[in-house]
Structure 1
């Protein structure tokens, strides 16, 4: 499918505006509008929603979101070279696309959106994980957004959905799964992009839960998890000894064996440990 609207194919847009992808900005452009529309559909019904998109580039996913009926799209683009191409999309969808030439890490994006809000993005590789962590750790829960539909390197996607016992299981899995349901909904090969990255990519869909799965103080839980996985090869009693002189007592109170390692501990166990330490 070369087009989903009256606008030119993406290759023509990129050529017309001289938009070669820049490695320094983590850019890999997705050119197949079939795929961008499919990614947009993974976010569910968009018709009554404002959508935040980070790193739209030439606007392939932006067009998919608008064509799939998003009430409004707020696209945050750091690269000023992309603004003319995005302006053409805005003109084709009057009143439904706002483009912000800004760094997503420095922007108060919520001020530009009206709930319900969904986040859908082919994230620049160099800021993807940091943005996800910020979205998962707002000051209050539930967050402004109801779901995140995000493209990552496949390795990062697998870390988000990982279960205890594997090498991929760690801080990112616990952070995501404590407050969300998370699943991989699409996989994309390198050749789907221009230029092709050296890795496969995957789209993860995260639905915000009304409240966390298990009670715990967010800051205590984050400290426990970060400390445990900073020394993941050590037994818990050694890895966590800096948190409390009575760490073995806290581990047993949480139903955990002091000789276990971090990658063996399920989310519920970390939450119980955080409650014991906070209590």
Structure 2
């Protein structure tokens, strides 16, 4: 990106907020990383008509998003930073190019958006990601590296788990860049990574998305056991009334495997069977 953007250190100084790890505030201050983040959307032709940014902080990324998006909406829960953003980007707001939404990204109504490009607060990054995924729009998001690797993992690997299957239910996930702690201030205690999520319909079908997610949560609590035992032992989580009926009707090869070795399509097959013969109700845990 060749345009001249606001210096992140000067932005932070003007905002008067130094960042606080105890409040999950780690400002991205590396110009090179900030410049690259929007390109992970534009390089693959994401629709940037309306970009949503979660956790805008002092606006270093916002500045760059305004250069590629027709409209940018940012969500910021810190009242002081939200006020600063309104003052710092008053011209963009007056021009109708920017909307500042003050509040918790897990609670405020989200606008219709065509893509989200965000450096997420790590403490609630999982909850935010799974609020964004069902919208079916492409995402470029920064996470803790370990979390990103689990999200992008494949069956049979150590990192593969419920997060991998649930994220993959909504989109193709790839890690596009690793980010060292030195790119942030204050520095986090972990490495970070940027994922790009391209939405797509899964290659399988499930009778009910909510039940599918609940079924996954249940069996992955016992990932070291075979699916035969995991299904039976977790009916209080999945809400199944008859786990034995599911086991009796299931393919022997599938239920003798452990969760970490099943593909998303395998889970869909078992969840569909559980829905049909297991009499799912409300979980008790």
How many residue pairs get aligned? The number is: 263
Cα separation, 2, equivalents of 1:159 and 1:48: 27
Q: Deviations over 1:186-235 (max 9, x none)?
A: 110010100111111001111111x3321012123212211110111111
1:103 matched to which residue of 2?
A: 104
Residue 16 of structure 1: how far off its partner (Å): 2.5
| 2:49 aligned residue | 49
Unpaired segments of 5 or more residues in structure 2? 277-285
Question: Post-superposition shift, 1:51?
Answer: 0.7
Return the TM-score normalized by structure 1.
Answer: 0.87
The answer for the alignment partner of 1:214 in structure 2 is 204
Q: Spell out the pairing of 1:135-150 with structure 2 (5 A cutoff).
A: 135-136=132-133, 138=134, 143=135, 145-150=136-141
Q: Does 1:276 find its partner at 2:276?
A: no
Alignment of 1:4-83 (within 5 A): 4-5=3-4, 7=6, 9-44=7-42, 45=45, 48-67=48-67, 69-83=68-82
- SS of the residue 1:104 aligns to: coil
- Judged with a 3 Å threshold, the aligned counterparts in structure 2 of structure 1 residues 92 and 36 are, in CA distance, closer, same or farther, namely farther
**Any conservation in 2 of the 1:46–1:70 contact (CA below 8 Å)?**
no
CA contact (8 A) 2:78 2:102 kept: yes
Q: Secondary structure at the match of 1:187?
A: strand
* Cα 1:199–1:214 shift into 2, 3 Å: same
1:117-144 CA distance string (max 9 Å, x none)? 11110000111101112223x4xxxx3x
Alpha-carbon separation, structure 2, partners of 1:128 and 1:256: 36
Once structures 1 and 2 are overlaid, which stretch shifts more, 196-205 or 94-103? 94-103
Q: How far did 1:101 drift? A: 1.1
Separation of aligned partners in 1, 2:77 and 2:211:
34
On the 8 A contact 1:232/1:261 being kept in 2, the answer is yes
TM-fit CA distance, 1:91? 2.8
Which residue among 160, 174, 195 is the counterpart of 2:186? Answer: 195
Secondary structure of 2:149's counterpart equals helix
Shift in CA distance, 48/10, structure 1 to aligned 2, threshold 3 Å: closer
Please give the root-mean-square deviation of Cα atoms over the aligned residues, in Å: 2.0
Q: More helix by proportion, 1 or 2? A: 2
Alignment of 1:122 with 2:119, yes or no, is: yes
Write the distance in 2 (CA, Å) between the matches of 1:149 and 1:177: 15
Q: Is residue 254 of structure 2 the alignment partner of residue 257 of structure 1?
A: yes
1:103 CA displacement:
0.8
Structure 1 residues 34 and 257, CA, compared in 2 at 3 Å: closer, same or farther? closer
Contact 2:54 2:76 in 1 (8 A): yes
